[in-house]
A and B are shown apart, each in its own frame.
Chain A
Amino acid sequence: MVKPYQKPNINPDMGVTVFEPETMANILKVQGKRKLFIIGAESLTWELDGKKLVDYFIEIVKKLDVPVVATGHSYKYLSEKLGKDKVTMMSLINITQRLSDPNWKGIDGNGQYDMAIFGGHIVFYVSQTLSNLKNFTTYLRTIDLDKYAHPNARFSLANLSDEEWKEFLEKLTVNL
């Protein structure tokens, strides 16, 4: 992978950088049968070209048709836009703890997930929760759609500029 966004965050086992939105679209579509999108509160304040990051994610959610966990204080916005039945409120650490338990029944009671997509989180905080999943699960693919190269996610982006990130998310959405 490219160097981690937070440069000292070096470890022997690091994830893969996904450079092309088409590749990421393929991963999101093809890999994994039980998927969950975990959207954080930073997505409410980060804007790309005047549009909230959360709105980019909402488009991805709609295309992928996956359930959403709203962390931090992102529930209000997400549930208004997606409907309460699509969004569950849970803290980032609580959802990570559940994803880390192979016996968890999932939000819908149908069992553990095999893909967790993250976005809109403070870079150093989600890096830690991803580290739990990297070290203590074998069944979960983790993907982070924030602009950072996240060594603890299985797949993440390449430390993109805001313009590059916007373009990436738009192309990704088109390709889903």
Chain B
Amino acid sequence: MTEKGARIKIDEYKGPLGKIKGFEFTVGKVVSSDYEEWEPMGPTPKPIIPTLRPWFFKLMERYPPFYMPICDMCCLCTFGKCNLSKGKTGACGIDMKGQQGRIVEIACCIGASCHSAHGDHLIHHLMHKFGDVPINFGDKIEVEMPMTRLIVGMKPENLSDCLEAMKWVQNTITHLLSAGHTGQESSYLDFESKSFLAGLCDNVGMEIADAVQIAAFGFPKGEADVPIVELGMGTLDTENKATILMIGHNVAPGIELADYMREKELEDKVDVGAICCTAIDLTRYYEGAKVVGSLSRQLKYIRSGLADVVMVDEQCVHLRTFEEAKKVNAPYIATNEKRMEGLPDRTADPTQEIIDDLVSGKVKGVLILNPEKAGKVAVEVAIKVKPIRKGKKSIPDREEAIEMAKKCISCGNCQRNCPNDLPLIDAIEAAKDGDFKLLADISEWCLDCGRCEGECMHGVSPLDLIIFAGQEYIRNEKFNMRAGRGPIQDTEIRNVGAPIVFGEIPGIIAPIGCANYAKEIQELYILVEEFLIRGYIVCVSGCAAMDIALVKNEEGETLYDRFPGDFDRGGLVNVGSCVSNPHICGAACKVANIFARRPLRGNYEEIADYILNRVGAVGVAWGAMSQKAASIASSANGLGIPAVCGPHSAEYRRMYLGRTDNDEVWTAYNARDGTSGHPVAPAPEHLLTTAESIEQAIVLCAKLCIRPADNTKGRMIKITHWMDLSRKYLGVNIPDELEKYIRVEADIPINMKTEILEYLKSKNWEPREVLDPTIVERLSKKYIK
């Protein structure tokens, strides 16, 4: 029996105690049998650090961590700096691998705590505003919150239940983070095992954050036909309306802002748009909101003078936004305790007073921690300040831009400080003669970081020049995307479970994450279109969900116009913001649970083993930048879902790479008879890897969808796509080591049979059995009848 706290709310009470209105009380712990009975408890609820260590170590036997230090030193304690390169150890005894493992583990803890603290804030805010709302996603979803069921072993029924799950997250992160202290963990493998566990915390923290906002704000609950919303820097009506730009991830103040606008009927006076996940979450609530774009749009948008008010919440917000807002006379509102920016806390002040101070310019920015107040202030200030600031920009006009360019001495400092090594010298040189084409071209490759301008000793801001050159593009950037739909429905899982597990739907491709691309922002589109046309299921979230929509076909349609939002063959599913990612991992878990009837509750290892061997899902974090993306990757990897990252992700320092030429590790138990040592295909080849180009990434994704348990028809389909894409993008006729992926002749694509058989002959290929594979000994015997 499990104990459980209860909150009781009584609207009106008349009785022996007298008359009470709006009464609410909490009883410490009650015992509920229903709570216990929904599924038998598995072996690992609320795992602590050692609990799942054997599973993570098993994964790392196949996929050992591969380190690429970005810094050879450590300066974490006062013994430092310590040089750890080439086999040296620090004063505390840590070696290079240990240090890399430690930094990644700390990053994963930061990422997991970010999502979880966001979720924790939402639970409290929403309970305060709406009471203890039930978590019910409707008739089509019985298994809501699969990650929390799987990891924590509980099934939250309302917001307050989530607090208990959150307690596990918070406690675990504290323990994990403590391992990073000097003189704690020494083994890189144990640091990695802890990174995986941080990924579990992240999965639960994210899932809670999204579940409570779906439940309380009434976001879509997994319907495929969610509205199409506007995307792009040109979508806000700056001519006729006052505009508010929000940036960040916590939608609470944005919701209040939208409510206030609707209540006061101000929608024809105010236009609201957002950057990053706040944008995605706002459009799940208010269709009139605009998605301005992914994180690499912040400085461009503010400097272009398009926002009358800038309101920020938390995570991935450029730290110079206040400074930038001041330059264009846009009042600035910070709304979250994680990011208070040294601003005066005006939360308790009268609303009108704050509005007057911001409009008059007496203060340039304020901190308002009450979302309702922040929303109202933003709307009122925007209306009043629009005629005063008159669209003021902070970029040069044409003449000034040419004058600025002329100051450039082509020293190249800016270019060498640009994370993408953009050809700034040539582009600025051309601008000296009034030719801004090169600068405009760069615009789509520019990460909007501003690192170039800090480096110039001659008064040139390459970023200002880029923004000037891109003005026309910025004004006209208007696309469509589908709003975030949230979870995958159980009914959808029932329909696609078998085709996914048997490989007839060749895979689930999941581009997620940030916008730190090595090349142009539209590159990911190529990958997504390719897989949609081929009938893969594509799930997207966050910045990636926006950036794949930045291309139209000849008919003027974006991918969202062309492909339906169903979790089915050829469907393009936008699950939502960063915190919606667990719906994708959750869908893989639901395949195991709903289709294959594997129990979820506290049963992490079995479900992960099932996914690793059977569910061809692959994450694509093409522009991953943040610590959150690191913990999201861990959350997927621990479950046996591999991920392909872009070139910048090498700067995370660590990948999990398999070796197809190491036959020893590619064996499995056969769950039909419990026997061990059976060879399996080296699939998925990696758990976490980078790719050099989008072409390579496309081929790799198709390959990583192959799973040891594919049936012969499914394997044949997957190999067909892999080979087809290898030919198209790499010019490779027969991929190296193809023989390792073919078990029996029936695995061979029919249209290439003759040439493949010839190839197999040259490799002395022998057929081998088609297994029911598992890599966990305990599980190899569990289902023998």
- Seen from chain A, the residues whose Cβ lies within 8 Å of a Cβ on chain B are 5-8, 11-13, 40-41, 71-73, 75-77, 79-80, 88-94, 97-98, 100, 121-125, 128-129, 131-132, 134-136, 138, 159
A73 and B416 form a contact (CB under 8 A): no
B residues within 8 A CB of A94? Answer: 657
A132 and B68 form a contact (CB under 8 A): yes
A93 and B417 form a contact (CB under 8 A): no
B residues within 8 A CB of A138? Answer: 86-87
Residue B692 at the A interface, CB < 8 A?
yes
* Contact among A41, A79, A97 with B692 in the assembled complex (CB-CB below 8 Å): A41
Given contacts A73-B692, A89-B736, 17 further A-B contacts (CB under 8 A): A11-B71, A11-B73, A12-B72, A12-B83, A41-B692, A71-B692, A72-B691, A76-B730, A91-B689, A97-B659, A122-B518, A124-B648, A124-B651, A125-B690, A131-B70, A135-B85, A159-B412
Interface string of B736-761 (1 = CB under 8 A from A): 10000000000000000000000000
Residue B360 at the A interface, CB < 8 A?
no
Whole-angstrom distance from the CB of A96 to the nearest CB of chain B?
8
Whole-angstrom distance from the CB of B570 to the nearest CB of chain A?
25
A72 and B417 form a contact (CB under 8 A): no
* Contact among B72, B657, B659 with A11 in the assembled complex (CB-CB below 8 Å): B72
| Stretch from B29-37, B343-351, B693-701 that touches the partner | B693-701
* Contact among A5, A75, A77, A128 with B651 in the assembled complex (CB-CB below 8 Å): A128
B86 and A72 form a contact (CB under 8 A): no
* Contact among A124, A134, A159 with B86 in the assembled complex (CB-CB below 8 Å): A134
Whole-angstrom distance from the CB of A123 to the nearest CB of chain B?
5
Task: State the CA gap A89–B692 with chains docked (Å).
Answer: 13
Residue B513 at the A interface, CB < 8 A?
no
Whole-angstrom distance from the CB of A131 to the nearest CB of chain B?
5
Task: State the CA gap A71–B730 with chains docked (Å).
Answer: 10
A135 and B421 form a contact (CB under 8 A): no
A residues within 8 A CB of B413? Answer: 7
- Interface Cβ pair total, 8 Å cutoff: 122
Residue in A closest to B662 when the chains form the complex, CB atoms: A101
Contact A123 to B86, CB < 8 A, known contacts A11-B72, A91-B700, A129-B68: no
Whole-angstrom distance from the CB of A62 to the nearest CB of chain B?
20
B residues within 8 A CB of A125? Answer: 518, 647-648, 650, 690, 692
Task: State the CA gap A6–B421 with chains docked (Å).
Answer: 8
Return 26 A-B CB contacts under 8 Å, by A number.
A6-B416, A11-B72, A41-B692, A71-B692, A71-B696, A73-B730, A77-B731, A88-B736, A89-B736, A90-B736, A91-B700, A93-B655, A93-B657, A97-B66, A122-B421, A122-B647, A124-B647, A124-B648, A124-B650, A125-B518, A125-B690, A128-B68, A128-B651, A134-B85, A135-B86, A138-B86
Whole-angstrom distance from the CB of A148 to the nearest CB of chain B?
9
Contact A76 to B650, CB < 8 A, known contacts A12-B85, A94-B657, A135-B85: no
A residues within 8 A CB of B651? Answer: 124, 128
| Contact residues, B85-138 vs A (CB, 8 A) | 85-87, 96
Residue in A closest to B731 when the chains form the complex, CB atoms: A76
A residues within 8 A CB of B85? Answer: 11-13, 134-135
Contact A75 to B732, CB < 8 A, known contacts A11-B85, A129-B68: yes
Whole-angstrom distance from the CB of A111 to the nearest CB of chain B?
14
- Seen from chain B, the residues whose Cβ lies within 8 Å of a Cβ on chain A are 66-73, 83, 85-87, 96, 412-413, 416-417, 419, 421, 455, 518, 647-648, 650-651, 653, 655, 657, 659, 661, 689-693, 695-696, 700, 729-732, 736
Whole-angstrom distance from the CB of B414 to the nearest CB of chain A?
10
Task: State the CA gap A166–B729 with chains docked (Å).
Answer: 29
Which 6 A-B residue pairings sit nearest by Cβ, starting from the closest?
A76-B731, A128-B650, A72-B692, A73-B695, A125-B647, A128-B68
A residues within 8 A CB of B730? Answer: 73, 75-76, 89
Residue in B closest to A12 when the chains form the complex, CB atoms: B83
A residues within 8 A CB of B87? Answer: 138
Whole-angstrom distance from the CB of A81 to the nearest CB of chain B?
12
Task: State the CA gap A125–B655 with chains docked (Å).
Answer: 13
A135 and B70 form a contact (CB under 8 A): no
A8, A40, A135: which has the most chain B beta carbons within 10 Å? A135
Whole-angstrom distance from the CB of B81 to the nearest CB of chain A?
8
B417, B653, B731, B736: which has the most chain A beta carbons within 10 Å? B731
B518, B689, B691: which has the most chain A beta carbons within 10 Å? B691
* Contact among B70, B73, B648, B731 with A79 in the assembled complex (CB-CB below 8 Å): B731
Task: State the CA gap A33–B71 with chains docked (Å).
Answer: 31
* Contact among A75, A123, A131, A135 with B731 in the assembled complex (CB-CB below 8 Å): A75
Task: State the CA gap A138–B85 with chains docked (Å).
Answer: 12
B732 and A89 form a contact (CB under 8 A): yes
Contact A73 to B696, CB < 8 A, known contacts A13-B85, A134-B86: yes
Whole-angstrom distance from the CB of B452 to the nearest CB of chain A?
11
B residues within 8 A CB of A159? Answer: 412, 416
A13 and B731 form a contact (CB under 8 A): no
Task: State the CA gap A72–B71 with chains docked (Å).
Answer: 25
B693 and A72 form a contact (CB under 8 A): yes
B657 and A97 form a contact (CB under 8 A): yes
B residues within 8 A CB of A123? Answer: 421
Task: State the CA gap A5–B657 with chains docked (Å).
Answer: 28
A11, A128, A138: which has the most chain B beta carbons within 10 Å? A128
B70 and A72 form a contact (CB under 8 A): no
B417 and A7 form a contact (CB under 8 A): yes
Whole-angstrom distance from the CB of B178 to the nearest CB of chain A?
27
Residue in B closest to A149 when the chains form the complex, CB atoms: B416
B residues within 8 A CB of A124? Answer: 419, 421, 518, 647-648, 650-651
* Contact among B96, B417, B692 with A92 in the assembled complex (CB-CB below 8 Å): B692
A7 and B416 form a contact (CB under 8 A): yes
Whole-angstrom distance from the CB of B314 to the nearest CB of chain A?
27
Whole-angstrom distance from the CB of B157 to the nearest CB of chain A?
45
* Contact among B66, B73, B696 with A132 in the assembled complex (CB-CB below 8 Å): B66
A13 and B72 form a contact (CB under 8 A): yes
B residues within 8 A CB of A76? Answer: 730-732
Task: State the CA gap A128–B700 with chains docked (Å).
Answer: 20
Residue in A closest to B691 when the chains form the complex, CB atoms: A91
B650 and A129 form a contact (CB under 8 A): yes
Whole-angstrom distance from the CB of B516 to the nearest CB of chain A?
11
